Amino acid sequence: MSVEDLFAEVAAAHPRCVWLDGGGARKWSGARSLVGWLEDDDVSLTYSAARREVLRHSGGRSEVVGDDIWEVLEREVGPGEQWFGYLGYACRTDLPATPSEDVPDAIWLRPSHLTVIDHEPDGHFVDLTGVSVPAQSRDTRSTGYPTSPAYRAAFDQVQEALHAGDTYEANLTYRTAVEAPADPVETYLRLRSINPAPYAGFLQHDVEDHRAWLLSSSPERYALIDEDRTIETRPIKGTTPRGATAQEDAANAELLRTDPKLRSENLMITDLLRNDLAMACEPGTVEVPALMQVESYPSVHQLVSTVRGHLRDEISTVEALRRLFPAGSMTGAPKLRTMEVIERAERELGGPRAAYAGAFGWISGDGPADLGVVIRTLTTHDTTTWQIGTGGGITVRSDVDEEAAEAGWKAERLRQALGR
């Protein structure tokens, strides 16, 4: 049985399940799929930042077990246990972020059944390096992504803050609601086919009043924590579209590699991540083993850096993830002040970020963890109204029409998966 058929059966039979999908992985992220599902008396957690409630779901009952998702995860995730889920953008209540209006701000599952599938022996390992696809031009006149008045107003707010010195770079995003009654499993299978990614995956939490589906095709690592307590993050900042020909594709990649604006975006976020890791790591261990490398995906080239350090003895796995949260690539620099700027600027851009810009993956009880950033991701609470988040980094040298077009074509594969 294929992994696709296995998961279709699991999702049909079990309201709470997860697939961390290694079929489109890179060598740096491994090539294994993890498929897990819960029985009725297994435990899942949901978090509402608006109500400051963490609920524990088991045996058909739901009870409040805390008001902080990080504290509850510290308590609930036992040694040797492996939990799967996501943390939405508003999960740190000490930072400015509007709570979700539809899907829970966080969901975590403890499956009693877990199947591991190795993709490489079957020849399913996907390496897209050097593969070109139909072009998506940065020219808004030919992309069909005109700049909306709301986006232009938000962009102007960010530019004012940049020129005032309140921020050096801000990640301006927006959400689009797509009305498309669609089966989540079928939609995800289309998405993984047209946009394979290292942090691909599917989460289903079909529990009354706490429903959510998350369909991820993210290329970005939020955090990997190894057995030896090394923590690594791989921020993405800087994006160009793929080209229609090999020559055009190579030119777009070279632009990404050499353009001062794109390189400055990545450098500022890399420096922010060095600071974030320094708050959790032993002095002198934070390093940047890879700076501004080009990685190629089906629709885009991305500029990626790697930041790594060794956690201090007193820093737990959950605490390390909390200190890093949310990903600096999704906020800007400096983090707190920039989050205040984008919180105001994004108010008219499609609602709260919700799961978008958060983290999705697995954690273990004060042990290893591996999570991606929630980008290139579809979410829904009813399988009819789907949310797409998209955006990009803004600096003083940014052009509003170029940035609007970039945000548009970043979301194109998600629309295609919904048949739009």
| Angle (CA) 37 107 125, round 5° | 55
Give the type of residue at 154.
A
Q: Catalytic site residues?
A: 220, 237
Find the helix or strand (DSSP H, E) in which 172 lies: strand 169-179
CB 307 within 8 A of CB 274: yes
CA 1 to CA 313: how far, in whole Å?
44
**H-type alpha helices, 279-399:** 317-324, 335-345
Beta-sheet strands, E only, within 88-130: 106-109, 113-118
CA 204 to CA 217: how far, in whole Å?
15
Give the closest residue to 27 by CA, choosing from 131, 130, 125, 117. 125
Beta-sheet strands, E only, within 207-258: 212-218, 221-225, 230-234, 236-241
